[in-house]
Amino acid sequence: MFNLWRVIGSVTALFVLAVPQSAQSAQSQAQIKAQAQVAPPQRVMSLNMCTDQLLLDLLPPSQITSVTFLSHSSPNAALAAQAAQVGINYGTAEEVLAQNPDLIISGDASTPTTRAMLARTGYRLYEVASSDNFDEIRQTTRELGIVLGEEKRAQELIVRMDATLNELMHSMPERQIRVVAWDGGGFVPGRGLLFNDILNVAGGINIAAADSNDYLVDFDLEELLRARPDLIAYASATLDAPALTTQLLQHPVVRRLYEDRQITYPDNLYICGSPQSADAAKDLRAAMLEAVAVMGRMR
């Protein structure tokens, strides 16, 4: 029987639950780090594509409860293979409750409601800041190593990354290769994004970043022509299915002038900073050099 008082009671309860609890019930980041010294987490869950990669590099599969579906279905075969060894989640609260991790790792862009909800339900959440350059990658990796109780492993990864970076720095091409990365919709990564750091280490320079300090810069065909980059770089995700961006590729001007001067890069490695970004820089160097060599031969 429909009971009015029961309904009122439920609605009131919902309101009470929805009110964010005070911060006292959430564990601070410092507390989490301290905890790891004593008892390293055994069941870690990642709710963010970028932290997925870091987690899979730092912890053995047995200690990882799940990573996001994005890694499981990533076009990057290596990442997908790693992810296949652990569980899967879609970033929902039900899964957190069901999988019952002892530590949740997420990016720093989760919504206040998610944070509040996790705090209220007593789960430990560690937020990892996104990295915009290799310095920040080092810092983040180190911190995450502490949180997971895997400082040694984190150090190994950083050392390897630095070795690759050094190698690249000491074998820079004669002149900087001028690149525009065309992400689609006329927007290109401007100064300040990880893409630029990776590109610089690989031996290139992002022309779009030259004029502005914005994160994303509007760059139409006229600008492209004026800037006369050596190469146009496309995020591979942009190209795998048709869209207005791919139509831009077929513009007669682009076809005529940049037919052989295009390279693609796997964008997930450029969005998410991790020690693997150094390898991405190495691959980028190889692709750029090859494209430029073709250009040289054609001239």
Partner 1 sequence: MRTNIPLNASLLVLLAALFFFSLLAGRVWIPPSDALNGLFASGSDLSEIIIFELRLPRAVLAVLIGASLGTAGAVLQGLTRNPLAEPFLLGVSAGASLGAVIAIYFGLAAVFSAATPLLGIAGAFVATSITFALGWGGGTLALILAGAAVSGLGGALIALSLNLAPNANAAYEIMNWLMGSLADRSWDHVFLVLPFVVIGGAILITTGRALDALSLGEAQAQSLGVDLLHLRLLVLFGTATAVGAATSVTGVIGFIGLVAPHLIRPWTGHQPSRVIIPAALAGAVLLLGADIATRIIRLGPELKLGVFTSLIGTPFFFWHVFKLRKTAP
Residue ranges binding partner 1 (CB under 8 A): 183-187, 218, 220-223, 225-226, 237-238, 240-248, 250-253
- Give DSSP secondary structure letters for 279-291: HHHHHHHHHHHHH
Nearer to partner 1, 63 or 68 (CB): 68
Amino acid at position 81, single letter: A
Nearer to partner 1, 101 or 190 (CB): 190
Min separation Cβ 182 and partner 1, Å = 11
Nearer to partner 1, 19 or 244 (CB): 244
> Nearest to residue 208, comparing CAs of 178, 238, 234?
178
Q: Are 44 and 148 contacting, i.e. CB atoms less than 8 angstroms apart?
A: yes
Min separation Cβ 230 and partner 1, Å = 16
Give CA–CA dist 107/85, Å, rounded: 22
Min separation Cβ 86 and partner 1, Å = 23
Min separation Cβ 199 and partner 1, Å = 20
> Nearest to residue 289, comparing CAs of 203, 183, 196?
203
Nearer to partner 1, 240 or 260 (CB): 240
Nearer to partner 1, 200 or 238 (CB): 238
The two tokens of residue 221 are 């065909």
Nearer to partner 1, 136 or 223 (CB): 223
Q: Which residues pair with 64 in a beta bridge?
A: 44
Q: Which residues pair with 68 in a beta bridge?
A: 89
Q: Are 23 and 73 contacting, i.e. CB atoms less than 8 angstroms apart?
A: no
Phi-psi label, residue 192: left if phi above 0, alpha if psi -120 to 50, beta otherwise:
left
Min separation Cβ 3 and partner 1, Å = 39
Min separation Cβ 226 and partner 1, Å = 7
Nearer to partner 1, 152 or 226 (CB): 226
Min separation Cβ 246 and partner 1, Å = 8
Q: Are 261 and 231 contacting, i.e. CB atoms less than 8 angstroms apart?
A: yes
Min separation Cβ 56 and partner 1, Å = 22
3-class SS at 135? helix
Nearer to partner 1, 173 or 185 (CB): 185
Helix H, strand E, coil C: the string for 32-78 is HHHHHHHCCCCCEEECCHHHHHHHHHHCCHHHEEEEEHHHHCCCCHH
CA angle 84, 160, 191 (to 5 degrees): 85
Q: Are 104 and 45 contacting, i.e. CB atoms less than 8 angstroms apart?
A: yes
